[in-house]
Homo-oligomer: A and B are copies of this chain.
């Protein structure tokens, strides 16, 4: 399990409330680990009970109070310990891939439409990541430590989205042989 530890990493970067954590899982760290706010609240409760995090209630102006969580020494120790442990190999899961494989037992045209929709989603994510990279890491060659690691993970997300988008293009070209050639895509070349 790693949601606990993904949260530890996120809190190590910045103390936050459950709500903020859940939002952050929509981007940056959420590239490779996601969670809904319910799951985050549940796990934060467990982590507090385990003494990995400490809470401070912060009153806000014109907004509900929030509970800001920060790492304790025990939490930092747990994080360092977990990082030293071997990681489970990734397991890819794609419902759409299963549908592509089974396309001939259903409506191949509907599958092609769905592939196109996903292609668009991934192309948008790719653009968002690239824009983020340009903005946050304008000069990658100088990066060291924490910032370097963040950039490397962002590069991983970019590589993944690019390869998904390319693959969907290939699938579309094969499933719709009438429409020749992929659509023009200016962001296809590596920067």
What's the Cα separation between A2 and B104 when bound, in Å? 17
Q: Is the CB of A121 within 8 A of B89?
A: yes
Given contacts A90-B164, A159-B166, A167-B156, contact A12 B96 (CB under 8 A): no
Q: For A106, give the chain B residue with the smallest CB separation.
A: B83
- For A167, the chain B residues whose CB sits under 8 A away are 155-156, 159-160
Say which residue of B102, B103, B149 sits within 8 Å of A104 (CB atoms).
B149
Q: For A9, give the chain B residue with the smallest CB separation.
A: B102
Interface size class of A (residues with CB under 8 A): 35 or more
Q: For A81, give the chain B residue with the smallest CB separation.
A: B106
Given contacts A148-B174, A164-B90, contact A83 B105 (CB under 8 A): yes
Where the two chains meet, the residues of A that have a C-beta atom closer than 8 Å to any C-beta of B are 2, 5-6, 8-9, 12, 29, 31-34, 76, 79-84, 86-107, 110-111, 114, 117-118, 121, 145-146, 148-150, 152-153, 155-157, 159-160, 162-164, 166-167, 170-171, 174-175
6 further A-B pairs in the complex, CB-CB below 8 A; given A5-B102, A90-B118: A8-B102, A80-B107, A82-B99, A87-B118, A100-B149, A101-B149
